[in-house]
Each structure stands twice: as C-alpha cells, then as structure tokens.
Amino acid sequence: MRKHILTHWGHLHVGCPVCTIIPSHMLRHLAQHGPDNLRERMLQTLQHSERLRGQRDMLAYLGAVALATPTGTRRRTIYDLAHGTRLPGKRVRGEGDPRSKDRQVNEAYDFSGATYDFFKQVFERNSVDGNGMRLDSSVHYSFDYDNAFWNGAQMVYGDGDGVIFERFTKSLEVVGHELTHGVTQFEAALAYHDQPGALNESFSDVFGALTKQWKLKQTADKADWLIGAGLLAKGVNGVAIRSMKAPGTAYDDPRLGKDPQPAQMKDYFKGSADNGGVHINSGIPNHAFYLVASTLGGNAWDRAGRIWYDTLTNMIGPNTTFKQAANATVRSAGVLFGSGSKEQKAVTSAWKQVGVIK
Amino acid sequence: MRITLTRSGGFAGILPPPVTLDTAALPRGVARHIEELVASADFFNLPDTLAAPTRQPDRLQFTVRIVNDDGREHTVTCDEEVASEPLLELVRTVQKATRK
C-alpha cells in the first residue's frame, strides 16, 4: 500500500493548484465522501499538500483512503478527421457508445481502453496524467499517412499508404506506445532528442509491448517482443517495425531499407536524422529491458515492468542519459526487490550486456 | 523541375532511401499541381531549416531539394509540425508520384 502511494508521487505536480487553498480536513472529507469525479482529485491534492508539509504519518491514512476510494474511469473519445489534418475532427464515438462501422474507430477505442486498463490494473495509474485525463484519439489523419503520433494532448493515427504500411491503429502496442508518450510527458518529461529521446521512445515501446502481453496473458518467453507487428503491408519483407528481442532484424526491404536499430552501445547511431536517432538507438534500452524480462521469466509486467515504471515515474528527468537511466533502474530494483536481489542482478547484467555500464 | 525528398523520424523511425522525380516525366496535370504547390509554399524563399520549438513524439521530418530548369536550387529541412499546408501537400504528392 505504502509502495502504491509512493509510486503515485511522480505526477502530483500536475494536481490542481487552486485546490491547495481548501483546508485539508475538507479535502479529506471530499476524498472520502465527495462525488466520484471530485474524490480522486481531492485525494491527490491531499497527498500533494501533505507531502509539502512533510507529514509522513498522513501517508498511511491516505493509503487507506486510496483503497476505499473508487478511482477513475475510462473516458475515451474517438474523432474522424476524414483525411483532414485539423485536430481533433468530428466526434464519432464516446465512452460507452455502440461500436462504429469504421474499423479504425473501433481499434482506437478498444486499444486505448486496453492501455488504460493495463496502467490502471498493473500500476494503479489513472490514465495518462495519473489524474483521469480523457483519452482522445483522431483517426484517418491526412492521406496515405504512414504514421501515428502523440501531439501532447491526444493520439493521432494515419491510415498508412496500403503499399508499405497498413493502418496504424492495427497494433495494440502502437496505441500503447502513443499513450505512453503521454505518461512520459507527465512524468520524466524526457527531451525528444539524442539519448533522452531514445529513452522516451524506449519507454513507449516497453509499455506498449507490456500492454499487449498483459492483454494476451503472455509470459516473457511466449511474447513476440515486436513493435508494430502487422503494420507492414503484404509484400514488404519484414515482420514489424522494431524487435526488442533482436533489434535490427524487424525488416529488410528495398523501399524501407534495413531495420537500423542497434542492440549494443558499440553500434550506437551518431547521425542527426530522426532527432539524433531516437527511434534507432532506442534499440539499446529496448534490448536491455527484454534481457531483464527474459532472465526473470514469468509476466514481464510483474517485475521488469514494475522496475521500469518506478524508474520512469520517480527516478529520472528530462536530460537523463542511457547510463543514468541504467543506474536508476538498478537503484529502483534495489528499492523494490532488495539490494543484491536476483531482480537487481538481472538489471545490472542486462545493461552490461548491451554495453551501457561496465 | 527536379525534386528530391528525404524523410526521417515518425513512429517507424525509418530512413528510407531518398526519392527523386522530374516533373518533365510526369503527366501534365500532376506536374502542374506540383509547380503550383512549389509556388504557393513560396519554396524558394523558405529558410533552410523550419524547426519546431519542441518536437512532438513520433512526428516526421523531411528534407526537400528542388532544382529548377533555370538552374536555381534550394533545400529545405522541415519538421512536420511547422510545415505549411502547401508544403505538406507537396511532400504527399511527391511521395505518391514516386511510389513503386
């Protein structure tokens, strides 16, 4: 319980600042008895203000309230851009609405729901911001658009050109990847270039892959560890966009080139393209995560995922390098599972294998 | 008019080989559309770099190099977030015309 509360601290800075003028006894009452939509905010504000005052004994109390307080619900909305680019587009499906006839709309709805559920049930995180933020997705962006992105407030998906790429809503891990960019934005806020950018990308791949594994109830040894499986159109020589298990092997096609991801620091991409190789060098931390998960076995989200989540939410910041992130995961593994635990040893060994630490 | 397009970034983070086209070899309608887009994007007066103040995750970046028949040439590297609509449409049109 204590641990649960602690893991929530990373996002408290996004709480409502105005709420801090409300006396804490009132907040406490609202947190316990207020309307659903207010309760969680009050609880978080309470945690925030109590932390500021350094009242440690309040933590246990707040922990109990957190358990007793039903936390947030999913609030998904899907918009159809009909090939335009002006966001968000026309609202076509809201939370609880019946299925659409449009496949992209349903995929964006179902997969953002699965991602919400994953973060909620595994890490007790209430949405992207930890505070029940709405999940907005726009589909059919532009024409033949070979991409998906997070614009800082919502997800956006292209249909793909149909020749090289299929629609970007097709893979659950792609949706999980985009939403995790939101989580990162509210937590470590990793800068989007060079090593912090590659870490930003890697956290999105890690939690995208974990969302899929959790949804499919796959243990680490049963998972494919692919990112964007099924995204490449028929006739393209490849299985996915990236492979965490074997970076650099996802595709090799004359029109796409060869998967450029390294698995090792010695093959680090030093070019300026792709914001200093954020989608390229992410292969290195991706592979480190895979090594930890496969060494530990079982469900990757239980231990490896827990360490990575704690690192993202509590241990690192905007300019964190690979080496700093590696050391942070080692520290986190020690805090969560004990110094010298097999979890911590697996983490240290993984980063050594990819050449980030010695 | 010869146009070379290089893309990078995006969710896929791919670095596909650059594509080149010559408007002289295109159907008349497509060539004219491209010429109009180059004009309305005011391409030859754009700065060399159009960079977004902060990059949005998974957005694309592209470099467009155009050599006019009169020998004039210009290269622009642009983050998708800050590209004008004619420039984006130019990129889409070149991509489509060069797709195999």
Angle at which helices A283-296 and A194-216 cross, to 10° = 40
Domain total for chain B?
1
Average pLDDT rounded to a whole number, residues A183-205: 97
Output the pLDDT for position A255.
Answer: 85
Q: Residue B50: inside a domain, yes or no? A: yes
The residues pairing with A150 across neighbouring beta strands, listed in sequence order, are A155
Q: Residue B45: inside a domain, yes or no? A: yes
Q: How far apart are CA B8 and CA A175, in angstroms?
A: 21
Contact check, Cβ <8 Å, B16/A255:
yes
Output the pLDDT for position A28.
Answer: 53
Which residue spans of chain A are classified as CATH 3.10.170.10?
A: 76-170
Average pLDDT rounded to a whole number, residues A78-97: 96
- List of chain B residues whose C-beta atoms are within 8 Å of the C-beta of residue A275: 9, 55, 61
Output the pLDDT for position B14.
Answer: 77
Cβ atoms < 10 Å from Cβ of B26: 17
CATH top-level class for A76-170? alpha beta
Distant-in-sequence, close-in-space partners of B93: CB < 8 Å, separation ≥ 6: B30, B33, B34, B37
Which residue spans of chain A are classified as CATH 1.10.390.10?
A: 194-353
Average pLDDT rounded to a whole number, residues A85-114: 97
Q: Residue B87: inside a domain, yes or no? A: yes
Q: Residue B21: inside a domain, yes or no? A: yes
**pLDDT digit string, tens, across residues B53-86:** 989 999 999 999 999 999 999 999 999 999 999 9
> Which is more confident, B54 or A302?
A302
Q: Residue B100: inside a domain, yes or no? A: no
Residues 145-164 of A with CB under 8 A from B: 146-152, 161, 163
Q: What residues of A act catalytically?
A: 178, 279
ipTM of the complex: 0.89
Q: Residue B68: inside a domain, yes or no? A: yes
Output the pLDDT for position B19.
Answer: 94
Instruction: Calculate the average pLDDT of chain A.
Output: 86
Q: Residue B73: inside a domain, yes or no? A: yes
Output the pLDDT for position B11.
Answer: 95
**pLDDT digit string, tens, across residues A222-279:** 999 999 999 999 999 999 999 999 999 999 998 888 999 999 999 999 999 999 999 9
C-alpha distances out from residue A169 to A108, A159, A231, A303, Å: 6, 8, 9, 28
Output the pLDDT for position A205.
Answer: 98
A-B contacts at Cβ under 8 angstroms: 92
Q: Residue B14: inside a domain, yes or no? A: yes
Domain, as residue range, for B6: 2-95
Cβ atoms < 10 Å from Cβ of A17: 10
C-alpha distances out from residue A319 to A2, A278, A279, A312, Å: 29, 13, 17, 13
CATH 1.10.390.10 given to domain A194-353:
yes
Q: What is the pTM of this model?
A: 0.83
C-alpha distances out from residue A160 to A147, A170, A211, A339, B60, Å: 7, 10, 23, 47, 14
Nearest-CA residue of chain A relative to B54? A192
